[in-house]
A and B are shown apart, each in its own frame.
Chain A
Amino acid sequence: MVTNSDNPLRDLGGGFGKGLGDSFIDSGSKGIKYFVEKFRSGKLAFIQERSTIDKAKDLLKSNEHLFYCTYVNDREKQTLMVMGLTLRKLDQESQRDKRDDLVKKIKNKFDIQGSHLSYLVQNGVLSKYITNLLENIDNPDIMKERLEDFLNNLDKFVYFVRSNQDINQVADIIKIKINANSPKTFIISGIGLAAEIVSETFKLIKNEILLEYDFESYSSEKSQIIFLNKKDNLE
């Protein structure tokens, strides 16, 4: 049994203690009616694992989430950002099944665009992007405008490389996207096997791209993220 307190048996009916797997009725507890009464008065919730609630509470109050909320007012985006933090946490805890299940639910609820936003938070790209803006833009209104544009048009500013893509194909797509939109910042991101494709692609297009863009590269064990910042990136 999981409760808020250290002594759940004391809190939720003293009779419930004979055996955790036993029926409440068999164990001589106050029975289901006791719990229903408590539930109806708004004092009890029936859950599976307390850790799910605690994790959600912690992430909603986390500094990173509160930081995002100072720049992003949209409720749906805020939820997606918490989901990104949750995915990161599940990754850190090696809870792959839960992580994959959550990714599916995010996609079903918010489509691929929403899923991309969670992914950006999960992999630390959004925090790097905001830092990048903070370093380059002094005017808070312009910064907020740029961030909103970024979050509303991720496809314009980010390319998520997939592990089954060909390097030449990725290079062409990135060049087309950059030439079409001339974004002030463009991000190339890949995880797992796609990380290597990001690195190889960048080697291929580097000379051409760096005429107009500076770059910053972030590598980890399983991801490769390249930020391209236009040389006239100031306001």
Chain B
Amino acid sequence: MEKVETISLKQFSDGDKVLLLNELGLQTDGKFVLDEKGLVIKDKYVGVSVSLKNMLIFPGSTIVLDDNELSVTMYLEEYGDKF
């Protein structure tokens, strides 16, 4: 399996994050990440609203998660270790 590289969003300015989300067909209200319909995206594993400050975007149909150990672990369990 080809390894997935990672890039830290901590190095992105807020403007870059907005550009990135838009390129992915997503949006933000300035605090939270919104889907294409303008609804706040909830982390599929822990159910919390994903913030611009704490978002992770993983491959596999653009999976937007909150940055926490539980979500990351459950992602690895579901999709396998690509990292």
* A contact residues vs B (CB 8 Å cutoff): 1-5, 8, 11-12, 20-25, 32-33, 35-36, 38-39, 42-50, 52-57, 59-60, 75, 78-79, 82-83, 86, 90, 98, 101-102, 105-106, 108-109
Please determine whether B8 and A86 come into contact, CB atoms closer than 8 angstroms.
no
Please determine whether B6 and A50 come into contact, CB atoms closer than 8 angstroms.
yes
Q: Which residues of chain A come closer than 8 Å to B57, judged between CB atoms?
A: 39, 45-46
Q: Which residues of chain A come closer than 8 Å to B29, judged between CB atoms?
A: none
Q: How large is the interface on B (under 10, 10 to 19, 20 to 34, 35 or more residues)?
A: 35 or more
Please determine whether A82 and B6 come into contact, CB atoms closer than 8 angstroms.
no
- CB nearest neighbor in B for A19: B11
Q: Which residues of chain B come closer than 8 Å to A44, judged between CB atoms?
A: 4-7, 59
* B contact residues vs A (CB 8 Å cutoff): 2-13, 15-16, 19-20, 23-24, 45-48, 54-60, 67-70, 72-74, 76-77, 81-83
- CB nearest neighbor in B for A118: B70
- CB nearest neighbor in A for B14: A23
- Please measure, in the bound complex, the distance between the C-alpha atom of A33 and the C-alpha atom of B83, giving whole angstroms: 22
Interface centre among B48, B55, B67, B68 (most CB of A within 10 A): B68
Please determine whether B6 and A60 come into contact, CB atoms closer than 8 angstroms.
no
CB distance from A119 to the nearest CB of B (A): 14
- CB nearest neighbor in A for B48: A105
Given A56-B73, A102-B69, check contact A49 B7 (CB 8 Å).
no
- CB nearest neighbor in A for B74: A79
Query: CB < 8 Å: which of B2, B11, B68 contacts A21?
Result: B11
The B contact surface, by secondary structure, is mixed
Q: Which residues of chain B come closer than 8 Å to A86, judged between CB atoms?
A: 69-70, 73
CB distance from B17 to the nearest CB of A (A): 9
Q: Can you list 12 A-B pairs with a CB-CB distance of less than 8 A?
A: A4-B83, A12-B5, A23-B16, A36-B20, A36-B23, A45-B57, A48-B9, A48-B10, A52-B72, A75-B77, A83-B70, A90-B69
Please determine whether A2 and B6 come into contact, CB atoms closer than 8 angstroms.
yes
Given A32-B23, A39-B57, check contact A46 B7 (CB 8 Å).
yes
Q: Which residues of chain B come closer than 8 Å to A22, judged between CB atoms?
A: 13
- CB nearest neighbor in B for A59: B73
Given A21-B13, A48-B56, check contact A35 B20 (CB 8 Å).
yes
Please determine whether B6 and A53 come into contact, CB atoms closer than 8 angstroms.
yes
Query: CB < 8 Å: which of A1, A11, A24, A82 contacts B73?
Result: A82
- Please measure, in the bound complex, the distance between the C-alpha atom of A75 and the C-alpha atom of B76, giving whole angstroms: 13
Please determine whether B56 and A46 come into contact, CB atoms closer than 8 angstroms.
yes
Given A1-B7, A46-B9, A53-B6, check contact A106 B70 (CB 8 Å).
yes
Q: Which residues of chain A come closer than 8 Å to B19, judged between CB atoms?
A: 25, 32
Given A42-B4, A47-B6, check contact A52 B69 (CB 8 Å).
yes
Please determine whether B5 and A4 come into contact, CB atoms closer than 8 angstroms.
yes
- CB nearest neighbor in B for A1: B11
Q: Which residues of chain A come closer than 8 Å to B83, judged between CB atoms?
A: 4, 45, 53-54, 57
CB distance from A60 to the nearest CB of B (A): 6
